[in-house]
Structure formats: C-alpha cells, structure tokens
Amino acid sequence: MPPFKQEIENIKTYEAGKPFELIARDYGVAEDEIVKLASNENPFGTSPKVKAKVAELASKMHRYPDDSYFALKLALAKKFDVKSENIIIGAGSDQIFEFISRALIERGDVILQNKIAFAMYAIYAAQVGGRIIRTDTLRHDLKAFEKLLANNPKVIYICTPSNPYGDALDRDETFEFLGKTDKRTLVVIDAAYMEYAAFKDERKLIEPKELIERFPNAIYAGTFSKAYGLGGMRVGYGIARGDIIEALHKLRPPFNITTLSLAAAIEALGDSAFVQRTIEHNFKEMTRYESFAREIGLTYEPSYANFIAFTFPKGKNASDTANALLKRGMIVRDLKSYDLNALRVTIGLSAENDRFFELFRERWR
C-alpha cells in the first residue's frame, strides 16, 4: 500500500445511514413500510414545482451547467439582499466547509467548535492536519467559546440552530460574540436550519446581510437540503465579504453542482409557500413529540429545527432502542457517536410520527 498521509490515517470514515434496501433485506420489512426519521429531510419531499422543472430539464443533462451559477446567485442575492459577489455555491454546504478547511487550515492550526456538532467540521479539518478544540458544553454556549479564544483558532464553527441538539442562539448574543473575535479568525455561522428557527422565534434569526456588513471575518453557510427538500441534489451556499468569497472560489472545482441541481435550487427559491407549509407542519408536530417525551419520562432540548433529541434516563439504553426500532423499519439517529445516551428524531409526516410513538411505546414497557 502506498504511504497515505498521517492525517488520512487518523480519520474515521463518516458513516451515513443504512440504505432502505439493506434494512428491508436484513430485517424482513417491506421497503415501503420503512420510515426514515434520521437525516432531517423534508417529510413532504420536494416542491411539486421543483419536480416538474427537473423532469422538464431531464433532456438537458448532457449539458454542463452554467458554471458561474449566475441565475442561482442572482436569486439568492435578491432573497438575502446581498450581491452575487458575496455568494459561493457548493455541493451542499458541506463543500463550503471543505473549501474553508483547505483554504485556511495548515497543520497544527486550531479549529474551535461545540462539544457536540456536525461531524464534518472536524473531518474536513483533520484532513488538512487541523487541531480540533471543543467546548465542554452540550448546548452552544458562547461564554464557553469565548474562554477558548485564547487558543487563536483559525476557524470557529457556530451552528445555530445546532445539530444534533436543536438549541439556537440569539442574534444579539451571537453578534456580541463575533465582536470579540480576532479579524484573522474565520467565524462560520452554519445556518442549515435557520429557516426553522426564524419562524419559531425571530430573535434567533441571523441574516447574512447584517452579519457580513458588521463582521468582515464571518461567513454564513446555508443549504437547500433541509427546509427546501433537496438533500439528494446537493446544493448549498456561503455568503461573506467579497474577498473571502474570491479566495474560496479558487478551491471550487468547475461544475461542482449539476445541471439538474442548479435548476432545482432556482425553482425551489421561487416556491416559498412550500417551505412555509413545511415549517408550520414541523412545529405543530413538534409539540406532539414534546408531550410524548413528558408523558414517557424522556428529557429533551427545546428544538428550533426539524428534529428533536431525546436523552434517556440511566438504566435505559438509547442504542438498544434505536436497534429495536430499526428491526421494525423505523430509522432514527443514535447519538452514541457523540457519547450521548440519546436519540435524534426527525419530525416526519403525522402518520410517520404516530408510528414512531406507537413503536416507541411498545419498546418502552
């Protein structure tokens, strides 16, 4: 075997969820009976307008997309009241994090993040030899971040609402924190679930325009994978001052999203009613999960996103429950990899949520 770099040797491969086909085969559940509440996808799927557009454009898939992503950037610029020069498009916001790592982090540089956070921040950082420092708090606590600023982080990841816990920061406290950061530190606001938080409590809303006008060292990362229902299309974006965007663009491979993804994202931005319905449904169903948790004796963190994390009492094992549910065709996210005795459940359609309550109750007795 050729000698792979030490950085690569040290990385644990990201484990995505099991595919439906495998679960069906391994547990003898019919594929169409499987309920997946594990990846924070939109339970309504994708806007019908987007599906129609993609079908219409299927005959164009031999064409490369417009690599400048002109129309998508224009639509995003209009939505957020920023300029196209302030936007970079990624294959999911994941790819924006990858550009950030490769552009900024050298071996030994510090990346600061919450104790529990989206696993990819640390994986991209580790690929380039970064040193990850975590707070010791489960929820995002900016005082805990502040205490660690003395380590001179190159990059700080703030996820609000946060995954997998669902807590969200107030805009004002976030801006106050940003004011204390060094201008040489890039602060990433991972806003994958911002649409949900903004609906639940407007004090949580961080708008990219205000963020980048006030802070030259901040970048806002958004995605079409969650509220917009386009996880499988892989479209995300970064919004920052022009000089940051220009630097990140040097790392972007040409045609990093596809002809169909590009069209889907543009169309999705035009159907805000679909997103609105998605979010209203989400919080209506969320209250059912909260009542359920109280009834059964699980603790949960009030969530500003499209999922809810349940912490199990001592003596009850969340992984065992996740496995038992899996055997019945119900896929939820076990948070064992975060050292938590907890599960994260994506809010699904009403009937899917009913099924979750039913299977969970059976198991709990």
Q: Residues 113, 223, 256, 321: which binds ligand PLP (CB under 6 A)?
A: 223
Question: Of all helices (H) and strands (E), which one includes residue 291?
Answer: helix 272-296
Is residue 98 near ligand PLP by the rule CB under 6 A?
Answer: no
- The CB-of-318 to ligand PLP minimum distance in angstroms stands at 19
Is residue 329 near ligand PLP by the rule CB under 6 A?
Answer: no
- For the chain, the first-to-last Cα distance in angstroms comes to 51
Q: Which is nearer to ligand PLP, 117 or 322 (CB)?
A: 117
3-state secondary structure of 132: strand
Tokens of 354: 């009913």
Tokens of 176: 């106050």
- The CB-of-159 to ligand PLP minimum distance in angstroms stands at 5
Is residue 159 near ligand PLP by the rule CB under 6 A?
Answer: yes
- The CB-of-225 to ligand PLP minimum distance in angstroms stands at 3
| CB proximity list for 232: less than 8 A, separation 6 or greater | none
Is residue 94 near ligand PLP by the rule CB under 6 A?
Answer: yes
Site map (CB under 6 A) of ligand PLP, residues 233-272, x = contact: ---x------------------------------------
Cα dist from 141 to 151, 173, 217, whole Å: 17, 10, 20
Site map (CB under 6 A) of ligand PLP, residues 117-156, x = contact: -x--------------------------------------
The residue count for binding ligand PLP (CB under 6 A) is 14
Q: Residues 72, 104, 116, 192: which binds ligand PLP (CB under 6 A)?
A: 192
- The CB-of-138 to ligand PLP minimum distance in angstroms stands at 15
Is residue 157 near ligand PLP by the rule CB under 6 A?
Answer: no
The distance of Cα 38 from the centroid of its chain, to the nearest Å, equals 12
3-state secondary structure of 294: helix
Torsion sign across C-alpha atoms 22, 25, 28, 30: positive
Site map (CB under 6 A) of ligand PLP, residues 24-63, x = contact: ----------------x-----------------------
User: Which amino acid, residue 202?
Assistant: E
- The CB-of-200 to ligand PLP minimum distance in angstroms stands at 17
Short-list 268, 207, 272, 232, CA closest to 91: 232
Q: How far apart are CA 9 and CA 27, in angstroms?
A: 34
The count of other CB atoms within 10 Å of the CB of residue 337 is 12
3-state secondary structure of 111: strand
Q: How far apart are CA 268 and CA 275, in angstroms?
A: 9
Interacting residues toward ligand PLP by CB under 6 A: 40, 92-94, 118, 159, 163, 190, 192, 223, 225-226, 231, 236
